Chains A and B, each alone.
Chain A
Amino acid sequence: MLKVSDIAGRLGLDIRVGGDLHTEVKGCYISDLLSDVMANAGDGDLWITLQTHPNIVAVAVIKGLSGIIITNGRSPEPDTVRKAESENVTILTTVMTTFDTAGLLYNMIK
């Protein structure tokens, strides 16, 4: 079983909001279209995105995602951080591109 904390540690991700870091990561979904994530992400997926606004937290809650990784050195907006803290949603950030992040994650999960 792979936990969010295992992935954060092995990929060197910054923990911007630590929700439940012991949550099991069941898979990964990559998209910057929120309705695409609503339609196609799976329960327990880690979500890789460039979006930084508060709606990403709502999407993670509704879909039961294990966490969000924001790539390319972007930072979550202050409102996003506040919302994630109150909803207990994990937000991780990295300077890596989405491609590099996904490549490393793929080898851990698949």
Chain B
Amino acid sequence: MHIADCIEGCFQLMGGDFTNAGRASGDLKSMLAKLGVSQDVIRRASIAAFEAEMNVIIHAVAGTMHYTVNNEEVKIILTDMGPGIESIERAMQEGYSTAPDWVREMGWGAGMGLPNIKRNSDNLKIDSVVGEGTTLEIILYIRKEKTC
């Protein structure tokens, strides 16, 4: 695989827009497949992106998902105008969630989102300010392949 230039894209996300949830991550998945990125990276990137996309839809008013792909890495940055995370440490604990009941009835809000994102990324940075919003930077390294 060889990517000539840096490929990038950006999606707008609306809080509460469950109907279109997964569109941004699905597009990212198709883009990575088109670029010939390995199946393992595609699988992990789309899971991490989708969980992060859901977090914006569940918790925030609005946000964006921006991605860049080059020969070294896939970088996905989610920025939202949301409530912010009071304790990142607690939010990273499996089973901890602040999602409302109606979201839980849909099968979300099991407290697995951020742990799933962490497990599937090579590097995860979280910046959050309560009352302002949250930024997630998800990085996956693309394994070097023999042929270009």
B116 touches A35 (CB 8 A): yes
Q: Does A109 contact B (CB under 8 A)?
A: no
Interface size class, chain B: 20 to 34
Say yes or no: B51 contacts A35, CB within 8 Å.
yes
A54 sits at the interface (CB 8 A): yes
Judged by a CB distance under 8 angstroms, whether B141 is at the interface is no
Are A35 and B18 in contact (CB-based, < 8 A)? no
A2-42 vs B, CB cutoff 8 Å, 1 = contact: the mask equals 00000000000000000000000000000111111011000
Is B113 interfacial (CB-CB < 8 Å)? yes
B61-85 interface code vs A (CB 8 A; 1 in, 0 out): 0000000000000000000000000
The secondary structure that dominates the A interface is helix
Additional 19 contacts, C-beta under 8 A, given A38-B50, A39-B47, A49-B107:
A33-B110, A34-B54, A34-B107, A35-B51, A35-B107, A35-B113, A36-B112, A38-B116, A39-B112, A51-B107, A53-B18, A54-B18, A54-B19, A54-B21, A55-B18, A55-B21, A58-B21, A61-B22, A62-B47
